[in-house]
Structure 1
């Protein structure tokens, strides 16, 4: 308790820093992944290629990917810190977002599409009014997976100077301080649970009642 009383402000600051890093990465990943997943439903060959590339990207160890980012972004004097960590988290987010969006849109009932065509809806109207609302729970499941995964992976970003809760864990390991390690680990777990609970509420709130 004494440790928490002394270090609570720092833990809170690092938690906010961690949440900002992951949050911005997820926003950009959504802007890329959701439209790409929708587009891939129109091109099966490209879909297979893109999903394979995204799968390979996810298998790369996080510390290795962060390490690869350092020389790449050193060209623009951003080899360590926020930028390489941000880009790495965006890349890690792509597979669950693209795959779930692609699968969800593909699995929308053909009868629903036919009914939408029958009432004269154009392609973009069918997408916005029929396909996305019906695919929303599966898309949100992919987003939730990406967010929780990135909160965990974001811990490794501390090794390249990106800050966040990983700072507590890395400092705890180097100093042999179990209090730092435990406080960082618990904070990461709590942040992940809060983020997942918020996204689950959004999923339930905006899922059409007909498919809830």
Structure 2
């Protein structure tokens, strides 16, 4: 029963955490739109391969990571600049012409799995995310560390399902709302990342400066 509880809790937390708009979801959608379902599945497998290690090690070393103020400060500050970089990247992408916008073509030759592996590896914001959640779940007795591999398996299934669902959702918008979709990369997504960067900046100020 505890093993099943670990799987369910891991799935729910990861599923909800993977739904918000993020660069991994957006790139997953681009891969799906240009290269199909098989390639996006390989991409997502690359993403969750890295996440498996992140979830496992943050589960084991959660207390140590939280108490390492210098490391957490570097990660939090990096998050501000990383989100601003994403806003600029998607805005720049929206200004490309149809002739040169297919920039993923040269990267897809290296395998979608490797793309997912690389992009997930530089997603350092998942470290504080999983550290915080793992501490909360352990302290609240929502999960049992004895069955940690069941928990990790549940998180991976939740991430895969959440991201795949979000990819399908964006594709539906692209197919049925072309007028709205043309503003998605140019305005909406960059603004979302700018707002997230401001919130992250306020978190840094509140946590380390004030």
Shorter-chain TM-score category?
Answer: 0.3 to 0.5
When normalised by structure 2's length, the TM-score is 0.36
